[in-house]
Structure 1
Amino acid sequence: MLRKIGIVARIALIVTAALFVSQLVVVISYLHGERSPPPPFAIAKRIVAVVRLLDETDIRNREDVLAVSSVSGFQVSVISTMPEGFEDDFSLRRMGVLTQKMIDDLEPGRSVRVGVVSSGEHRRNSSLMTFVVGLKSGEMARFSVSDETTLRVWNLPVGFLAGFFGIVVAIIAVLAVARETRPLAQLARTVDELGNRIEPVQVKERGARELRTLIRAINAMQGRILGLVNNRTLFLGAISHDLKTYLTRFRLRLEMMPAGTHRDKAILDVETMEQLLNDVLLFANESSAGSEAETVELNAAVGTSAMEVAPAGDTVHLALSADPLNVRLPRKALRRVIDNLLSNALRYGTHAWIRTERRDGMACLIVEDDGPGIEEKDMPFVFEPFFRAEPSRNRSHGGTGLGLAIVRQILDAHGGTITLENRTAGSGLVATVCLPVEGMGR
């Protein structure tokens, strides 16, 4: 049944149910609540104050005092004899003792009686108490105290309980709304992940009808996007294969030509075109569904790459972390990241300094070089495909301008980051790559 109700209807139903429950609590409290008097101390204190006022007021102004002192639930009158039908009530003895003590503090010797009136104008009522206190004039002050205007449950005003239960019901309603919107929050996190990975992230279809329809559409969209990317990769792979075939034939013909400057330049152009095709195909492959992730030790991978790039060790200087730094991604992908950064450092500089460390649950690789660095105006664009910083890092150094784009694409797909900044001491560039340490979560 709930599966057919929309999210708007669900929220409206929750709010309506919350209001209904809160009102139901008030009604039940009214029907089953007991009428109890105000706190004894407050009653006694008020009686003493009125008695003092009556004693000190001229008899001609007494009516004004009585009019001011009488309020709803607390009526005052001056009588000369005990009320007809008055009976002492021993259940109110505590109230009488407290009032007597306070009257004695005012003037000892005065009598205080507390009970109920069972006949005449007032019928016996458990919520109506009658106090009779002697005055200086010899008359008596009669106090009729009731709680008819304030319904109490567990000796608490029903308004307070209604507010308390209203808050409780509101909290329950908020939790219910949060439960209904939880699939929406999960969907938002999943959509956010789509920008960093190409593999589909299937979201469980649950919640309101509109939300399930949206989740179903996004799940289907992920599959279509993956199909489009894979088709693009196949398309580029086919073009690259055909172009390589013609480039190979072209190079064979160039090799058979007589040696000369023009022949050498033509061969160099063919080699550059082959490298460009390889990089384009690699970039396309990295944007499609890649290999399965595996656990790789970062220090070992850096050491292996450094030995292959600089066997003598005189141009690459290592400072690796003493603690193992396990990261999770395809081994070839990590190798490609390290090789790209290391080759860039040695292409534009003469030395490279590599160190690894752990920062806030991330395994970080820092590569520094002593090259010309990158101008600040070019920093926002260095990760764009085919972008070449000018003039310090132009095509005369080789490369196709896809290296850093491939590196960022790999890192984005596995929860990593890369930042570039110029060295503060001397010329050169600092590239910092961070990947989640295995077991720490993203």
Structure 2
Amino acid sequence: MTLRLWPRSLIGQLVFAVAAMLFIAQAVNFAMLARGQRQQILAHGGGMAVARIIDAVERDRRGVAEADDSDRNRRERVQRLVISNEPTRPPPQAEAAPALAAYVAGLLDEADVRAERVDAWALPPRPHAQRTGFSSRTVVVSAKVGDRYYAVRSRIPTDGKRLQGFLLWQTLSLYLLLLVPILFIAWRAAAPLRDLTRAARGNPALRDTTPLVEAGPSDVRDLISAFNAYRARIAAMLADKDRMLGAVGHDLRTPLASLRVRVEQVEDARLRDKMIASIEEMTAMLADILALARAGSGTEAREAVRLDVLAGDVAADYREQGKDVSLAAVAAVTVQARPMLLRRALRNLIDNAVAYGLRARLSVKVADGEARLIVSDDGPGLAETQIEALMEPFARGEESRNRATGGAGLGLAIAREIAESEGGRLTLANRAGGGLDAVIALPVPE
């Protein structure tokens, strides 16, 4: 399992990018300030030590005796400067300070004072200095110039806590000042985009949808406006298609009915029956084609439908006709749908199960936030390639074109269109042990 750091949403990516850039900028800022503070500390402690050492070396070169100084200077030398012919010993509990020693050696070289060896030590901070809020450390710098050792004791401020606290407060302030407005702007842009995504995933054939509210930045508003116009054009095209199909259906049904009346006058009974069967087949095929074309575009209103009650009523109707249709486990679940269309889709699936799978068993289940109306049969099942092909219009599992044995091949296509128009989907799956499950999955209202 890999760790995903880069978020997927617009808000997440924007906030993550800004937060990462702020963190990098503050890290660089901290490194530069910390380096500058260290240089300042070295200059404070090392510069004072170098000045005292150079002054003492110049006094020795001029032959100025220590005894000629005043008592005040003598006390200062006793406290801060020690000149000896023996190497300087580090104070107890002192730690070596190589950075300070290197800095002092460099300053001495710049002042043309040739020091054979430079050492530096730092003592721990005094406890009372930490309680007062100003922490400093005593440092001892020793330089060997010629045959003599010059040791200087001075004080330097400690680094770290004040700088870290300042940078922490600065970082939090920057995050609040930058991320809060960015979050607001990103949310203002992402909320309409989420509504647009949900609308785009919906069925474009639905006629009762209202236009999306144009909100957010100008670019997002333009996108929503274009989507509303696009959906309005689709609705207009579908309305034109319905009017055209209605006219075609009316124009075809009228001559078919007239032809049926004339066929009844044919004296040859065998010929008359064949002609009547052909007319009925044409009429049934026309009805199926019109049903497929108009699936999801009827005027029936959506209402609360109990799927367990619907499955029980349909199963009872088939049993009255002497067909093997039974109920299995049915869960009591209610969905928002158009009951007549849903009943038609269920009947199409049951007809296929009875025709190709010997019998049909109806069940209703609820899983993953959706209700599943399942029609199971005991037939041989289908190959995976057949499952996709049979969803298309005029595709038949039975190879002949006889409606008495295989229909027009529109039953599954109509059921799929109805399921999708209700916001769901139709799936076919082979069942372990034999048989096929046709499942209409519909969303369950929250």
Category of TM-score, reference length = shorter chain: 0.5 to 0.7
For the pair 1:217 / 2:247, whether they are aligned, the reply is no
For 2:126, which of 78, 85, 96 is the aligned residue?
A: 96
Single out whichever of 403-412 and 169-178 deviates more from structure 2: 169-178
- Call closer, same or farther: CA 1:325–1:67 in 2, change over 3 Å: closer
Q: Corresponding residue for 1:84?
A: none
Q: Corresponding residue for 1:354?
A: 362
Q: Deviations over 1:165-215 (max 9, x none)?
A: 444455335414422431233322321224574543421111222221221
Question: Is the contact made by 2:205 and 2:296 (CA closer than 8 Å) also made in structure 1?
Answer: no
Q: Deviations over 1:202-237 (max 9, x none)?
A: 211112222212211211222221121011111101
Q: Secondary structure at the match of 2:215?
A: coil
Deviation at 1:373, TM superposition (A): 3.7
For 2:346, which of 338, 341, 361 is the aligned residue?
A: 338
For 2:263, which of 237, 254, 257 is the aligned residue?
A: 254
The residue identity in structure 2 corresponding to 1:265 is K
Q: How does 1:284-363 map to 2 (within 5 A)?
A: 284-288=293-297, 290-311=299-320, 315-321=324-330, 323-363=331-371
Separation in structure 1 between the aligned mates of residue 305 and residue 333 of structure 2, nearest angstrom? 8
Q: How does 1:5-404 map to 2 (within 5 A)?
A: 54-55=88-89, 67-68=101-102, 70=104, 95-97=125-127, 131=138, 141-146=152-157, 156=164, 158-169=166-177, 171-172=179-180, 174-182=182-190, 183-195=192-204, 197-288=206-297, 290-311=299-320, 315-321=324-330, 323-391=331-399, 395-404=403-412
The residue identity in structure 1 corresponding to 2:276 is I
For the pair 1:416 / 2:424, whether they are aligned, the reply is yes
Q: Corresponding residue for 1:434?
A: 441
Count residues in correspondence.
345
Q: Deviations over 1:324-366 (max 9, x none)?
A: 1211101112211211111222223432222222223322222
Single out whichever of 336-345 and 243-252 deviates more from structure 2: 336-345
Separation in structure 1 between the aligned mates of residue 237 and residue 322 of structure 2, nearest angstrom? 45
Q: Secondary structure at the match of 1:347?
A: helix
Separation in structure 2 between the aligned mates of residue 140 and residue 97 of structure 1, nearest angstrom? 25
Deviation at 1:296, TM superposition (A): 0.9
Single out whichever of 169-178 and 215-224 deviates more from structure 2: 169-178
Q: Secondary structure at the match of 2:156?
A: strand
The residue identity in structure 2 corresponding to 1:96 is R
Separation in structure 1 between the aligned mates of residue 90 and residue 334 of structure 2, nearest angstrom? 91
Separation in structure 1 between the aligned mates of residue 364 and residue 400 of structure 2, nearest angstrom? 28
- Call closer, same or farther: CA 1:358–1:370 in 2, change over 3 Å: same
Q: Deviations over 1:40-64 (max 9, x none)?
A: xxxxxxxxxxx9x94159xxxxxx9
Q: Corresponding residue for 1:34?
A: none
Question: Is the contact made by 2:393 and 2:410 (CA closer than 8 Å) also made in structure 1?
Answer: yes
Show structure 2 runs of 5+ residues with no match.
1-13, 34-39, 42-81, 92-97, 107-123, 143-147
The residue identity in structure 2 corresponding to 1:142 is R
Q: Secondary structure at the match of 1:273?
A: helix
Separation in structure 2 between the aligned mates of residue 277 and residue 248 of structure 1, nearest angstrom? 13
Question: Is the contact made by 1:350 and 1:369 (CA closer than 8 Å) also made in structure 2?
Answer: yes
- Call closer, same or farther: CA 1:375–1:131 in 2, change over 3 Å: closer
- Call closer, same or farther: CA 1:98–1:236 in 2, change over 3 Å: same
Larger relative contact order, structure 1 or 2 (CA cutoff 8 Å, min sep 6)? 1
The residue identity in structure 2 corresponding to 1:144 is R
Q: Secondary structure at the match of 1:333?
A: helix
Separation in structure 1 between the aligned mates of residue 339 and residue 348 of structure 2, nearest angstrom? 14
Question: Is the contact made by 1:354 and 1:368 (CA closer than 8 Å) also made in structure 2?
Answer: yes
The residue identity in structure 2 corresponding to 1:433 is I
Q: Deviations over 1:383-407 (max 9, x none)?
A: 2122223438974424222221121
The residue identity in structure 2 corresponding to 1:362 is E
Q: Secondary structure at the match of 2:126?
A: helix
Q: Deviations over 1:218-260 (max 9, x none)?
A: 1122222112101111110111011101000101111111243
The residue identity in structure 2 corresponding to 1:432 is V
Q: Corresponding residue for 1:5?
A: none
Q: Deviations over 1:54-110 (max 9, x none)?
A: 4159xxxxxx997337599xxxxxxxxxxxxxxxxxxxxx953579xxxxxxxxxxx
Separation in structure 2 between the aligned mates of residue 408 and residue 195 of structure 1, nearest angstrom? 15
- Call closer, same or farther: CA 1:144–1:400 in 2, change over 3 Å: same
The residue identity in structure 1 corresponding to 2:239 is N
Q: Secondary structure at the match of 1:358?
A: strand
Show structure 1 runs of 5+ residues with no match.
1-10, 31-36, 39-50, 58-63, 73-93, 100-114, 116-125
Separation in structure 2 between the aligned mates of residue 414 and residue 178 of structure 1, nearest angstrom? 33
Separation in structure 2 between the aligned mates of residue 312 and residue 206 of structure 1, nearest angstrom? 56
Deviation at 1:371, TM superposition (A): 3.8
The residue identity in structure 1 corresponding to 2:126 is G
Separation in structure 2 between the aligned mates of residue 248 and residue 166 of structure 1, nearest angstrom? 81
